[in-house]
Amino acid sequence: MRSATEENYLKETYALQLEHNQVTTSMLADRIGHAAPTVTSMLKKLASRKLVSYEPYQGVTLTKAGKTAALEVIRHHRLLETYLNRALGVPWDRVHEEAERLEHVLSEYLEALIDEYLGHPVRDPHGSPIPTPDGSIKEPDRLRLSDFPAGSLAQVVEVGDHEPALFARLGEMHLGLETKLQVLEIEPVDGLITVLVAGKKHILGRTAARQIIVRKLKGEE
């Protein structure tokens, strides 16, 4: 059996591997909120159980077994988010926190019932793909809004769920999944991005823009 803490480390390592070529101890410490020595101790424990490959100063990667375990937790998490949103009306800025509490205790029996009830969804309320029961997942190319040049036209397909405050900000902008936007201007010094959404201009910081995954639309310059 894996502890909730161990599962969180595996889940966050998987997420960071999607974002970066190499996952470091400091990245995990920042994401999970633990001190570096605590992270190192946990990585050594996970390595002893063949769930990660870890070498000091060389970073960490999931083993095949570790990836399977991470995707199982991610499937629980995203199914719970979808259920809470669709069945109970929990808004998308609250489902992540609630699912975090439940993901580690969800039985396979209840998981299957939720999946059936929801009609076997493929994406959660934030647009993230839901792993299949056999542990496979189709990860799309992640084109981040922060990487788009001025003049680009795009449509939102996914929003990272690690910053709940971001959802409130996007709500104010009326910017959700499938929303179309245009990048108007990028400040060269601080990286602030001005976007046009439904005829109104809004400004986003680069950190926030990195959490917004988009697809290109025809007509971009």
**Cα(160)–Cα(213) distance, integer angstroms:** 8
When pLDDT is averaged across residues 32-37 and rounded to a whole number, the result is: 93
DSSP string, 172-186: HTT--TT-EEEEEEE
When pLDDT is averaged across residues 55-84 and rounded to a whole number, the result is: 95
CATH superfamily of 143-216: Ferrous iron transport protein A (FeoA) (2.30.30.90)
What number does CATH give the domain 4-62?
A: 1.10.10.10
Please determine, for residue 221, whether its predicted confidence score (pLDDT) is greater than 70: no
Residue 19's pLDDT is what?
Answer: 84
Radius of gyration of the chain from Cα atoms?
A: 18
**Cα(86)–Cα(91) distance, integer angstroms:** 9
Tell me the pLDDT band of 219, cut-offs 50, 70 and 90.
low
Q: What are the sequence ranges of the domains in the chain?
A: 4-62, 143-216
Share of the chain above pLDDT 90, in %: 78
Average per-residue pLDDT for the chain: 92
Please determine, for residue 25, whether its predicted confidence score (pLDDT) is greater than 90: yes
Give the tens place of pLDDT for each residue, 100-109. Answer: 999 999 999 9
Give the tens place of pLDDT for each residue, 133-148. Answer: 999 998 878 899 999 9
pTM metric for this prediction? 0.89
